[in-house]
Amino acid sequence: MQLEIQGLSKTYPNGVEALVDVTLTVPTGMFGLLGPNGAGKSTLMRTVATLQDADRGSVTFGDLDVLRQHQEVRQILGYLPQEFGVYPKVSAVAMLDHIATLKGITQRRERREVVGALLQRVNLYQHRKKALSGFSGGMKQRFGIAQALLGKPQLLIVDEPTAGLDPGERNRFYNLLAEIGEHVVVILSTHIVQDVKELCTQMAIIHEGRVLQQGMPQDAEDELAGKVWRKSIDKGELETYRERFQILSTKLVAGRPLIHVFHESDPQDGFHAVQPDLEDVFFSKIMQVA
């Protein structure tokens, strides 16, 4: 089973082109959708999640026409938006029970078993009777993934899931998503390069509504081999180097900017070759559009 997106476009009434002829193939497993804020990621995710219409194009998941068979798609869909609302005074177990009912799990005993198993899976069972308003950011995200997993979805969409999580919570969330992605299509929409690098076997880079890159993260890095160079410079030299080179990234190390530049061959001037990483790929693609 895979998700096929062909020629998908969306322009909002204010004239903003959110999606421009987007074509993607998303197989079973973890698929990273990487792009800066405002790139069109959330628009694409909401469209695939049947929450808004496209102007043109097609989206299919197996035999389902996603843009037309909304009800059928929602039966096999799990969705964790960037921001999701809950009733703050309701306990986790009560809220999940309510959502399970809405998802068609009508038998009380079955609901109790399913909800309990999900709370165990996301490590919230011991907090099941606690009001959601008392949950930390990581606990809320784990609750969000639990509600998205109700009904055993075949397609799971998570939009910016690790924003605001501490390193420990983030790692636990990574492990859970990786486990889920062994059996279903999981789309991870994020602007955090490390999320895609650590989790996803396939990825796409999107910017200004257009797909700039699709494939395996390692292949994308290999394409830049021999074209990324590093140098530590004085702060006062930064603007001069910006004028002379295509700077991919700048990090302050021991008080000095460490710059990565894109150059087809050795730029000399004290630069050293560096093994490209996914962050270099990301910025090089964005730079080509700017």
- pLDDT tens digit string along 229-287? 999 999 999 999 999 999 999 999 988 999 999 999 999 889 999 999 999 999 999 88
Bigger pLDDT: 30 or 290? 30
State residue 199's pLDDT score.
86
State residue 278's pLDDT score.
92
Up-side HSE of residue 149: CA atoms within 13 Å toward CB? Answer: 22
H/E stretch holding 112:
helix 108-121
State residue 254's pLDDT score.
87
pLDDT of residue 38 exceeding 90: no
CA atoms of 76 and 151, how far apart (whole Å): 7
Q: What are phi and psi of 154, to 5 degrees?
A: -95, -20
State residue 4's pLDDT score.
97
- What is the mean pLDDT of the segment spanning 183-212? 90
Q: Are 32 and 195 in contact (CB under 8 A)?
A: yes
State residue 161's pLDDT score.
78
